[in-house]
Amino acid sequence: MIVSLSFGRWLALGGLLTIFVTAGHPALAQTEKKPASSAAKAKKKKPPVRAKKATPEPGDDLGEEEEVEKAPKPKKQTRAQKAKAEKEKKAQEKAAKAEKEAADKEAKAEKARAAKEKKAKAKKGKGKGKGKKAAPPPEEARIVVLPFDGPNGKRLRGDVVSSLSKVEGVADVTEENSKRENSADAAIALANEQQASAVLYGTASKKRGQIVLDVVMRNGTDGQVLGEASFKGPTVQKVKQQVDTNLPIELAEAIERAKPTPEPEPEPPPEEDPEAVATEEEKEKEEEPEAEEEAPAAAAKGRPSPLEIWLGFRGFDRDFSYNEDLSQFENGVAEQSTYGGPGAAGFLSLRWYPVAHTKGGFLSHLGLQGGYERGFLTRAKSPTGRELDVTYQEFFIGLRGRIPIAKHELGVSASYGQHEFTIQDDDVLLPDVNYGYLRPAVDGRFRFGKGLVGFSLGYRNVLSAGQIQDDDWFPNSDVGGIDAGLFGGYTPTGSYDLMAGFDMRRYYYSLNPDPGDPRVAGGAVDQYLGVWLGVAWRLAGSKD
């Protein structure tokens, strides 16, 4: 009885425990209710992992569990799937690259449009001169004047400084109180110290009762002499007047050459074409022709003088004589006459270069030349001592090309001319001559400071000689000729030259007589020796 009662109590206790567990865990209750077949299937499927929260949060029931499902493991891809994924990745990269290129192109086009608008605004602001660069402002010379040597040097130096300050093109005149050597190196060093473009030296002296002031201007860049000038007078006041009047003229060319050369403005960068993106090599090829086209403009120099006129007077002596005694002929040289005599003439000549009026370059050195000379107070003396009146004249016209070499000049010319010497009231003893000739020639002129020397040399291809080749004289004669000259001069200003020279014109004959000719001689010489004084004037060119 006792055993049975105890067994019943255990059964009741087990039932209560089962109810309690089932009420607290419904999943277990459901599991127990499932049939055996469902339980077998559930064994194959893993239940969700139940994990307790490490720390209970407010509002949570103590002892309550939270279910967390683990993420499923990735499935293993096949080869086809890998290939497809790789293809999609490449397509995405290609699309991204194309999008980046399109964005870069758009940014570049936007930059080009902005530059174009900026340039258009700049052009609009230039008014009538649009499309052209504004000319840079002219640079001016800065000159340092050193102490003048000699008596009255200090007084004259102040006047030179005052006169230089008034010259157009001079920005500043500075007086340097320390003495410096008159040399290229010293001038360069001083110019660098003073930031000057030229250095002026001066020496005052007394010569033959005159006060003389000599000044020399040197280039501050290379130390070379740019120009020299001299002023003199019986008193210091007279010399000052000379300085005030003539110094701006005497040193005008030197001051112009002393001006610093302005640097050209940089060219704007070329516009980019928004429609095409050129490679670096293509850009270089496009820029090279532009540099070649701009080179001649940068190297262009100014216009040379387009016109030069010479005017002067010549004194000469003419000598005509036969040679070679052909005594075997019936009429020997005893009947021939020789004669000579002095003469004087005035002359005018010019050289004109039409292209040089408007521009420089090769064509500006090709021009025309011409001249005329007319005798006066000219007489010829016959073998008997009788003096006869003479008509003497010469003219020429032709082409000339000049070759400038720094301050010097060489010339090449070709001319046609006539040279006439006609004796009045004599048709028996003295033949008239009228030489028509073609003359190729060379000449030169070399300048050294204010001094100059020159030469000329020509050949006269005589086409006809006038009466002397008539039947009454020497019809079979042949004639040739040459001329030559030397001269020197002084340049008081930049436009005038005072000159003096010596020249010779010589015609030589082969008379070629035949037996029975009225006059017989083997040859003859007709020579003119002269000295001359003259002045040359030049129309100024331009250094633009």
Residue by residue, DSSP assigns 24-76 as H-HHHHHHHHS-HHHHHHHHHSPPPEEE--SSPPTTPPTT--EEEPPPPPPPP
Please give the residue that has the higher pLDDT: either 352 or 132. 352
pLDDT of 482 > 90? The answer is yes
Q: Specify the pLDDT at position 426.
A: 64
pLDDT of 73 > 90? The answer is no
Mean pLDDT of the chain: 77
End-to-end CA distance of the chain: 148
CA distance 100 to 112: 19
Please give the residue that has the higher pLDDT: either 514 or 46. 514
Q: Specify the pLDDT at position 53.
A: 46
pLDDT of 165 > 60? The answer is yes
pLDDT of 150 > 80? The answer is yes
Question: Distances in Å between the alpha carbon of 265 and those of 122, 381, 474?
Answer: 15, 73, 74
Q: Specify the pLDDT at position 456.
A: 97
Query: Is 200 in contact with 146 (CB distance < 8 Å)?
Result: yes
Q: Which two tokens stand for residue 206?
A: 């007394």
pLDDT of 336 > 80? The answer is no
Please give the residue that has the higher pLDDT: either 533 or 142. 533
**Which amino acid appears at position 111 of this protein?**
K
Q: Specify the pLDDT at position 471.
A: 86
pTM above 0.85, yes or no: no
- pLDDT tens digits, one per residue of 337-386: 666 778 899 999 999 999 999 988 899 999 999 999 999 877 776 666 77
Q: Specify the pLDDT at position 461.
A: 97
Cα atoms in the Cβ-side hemisphere of radius 13 Å centred on 20: 6
- pLDDT tens digits, one per residue of 18-42: 665 555 554 444 444 444 444 444 4
Q: Which two tokens stand for residue 465?
A: 């000689």
Q: Specify the pLDDT at position 503.
A: 97
Please give the residue that has the higher pLDDT: either 70 or 307. 307
What residues form DSSP beta bridges with 51? Answer: 66
Closest residue by Cα to residue 388 from 352, 341, 450, 444: 341
Q: Specify the pLDDT at position 292.
A: 41
* Residue 243: exposure state from Cβ atoms within 10 A (0-12, 13-18, ≥19): buried
pLDDT of 89 > 70? The answer is yes
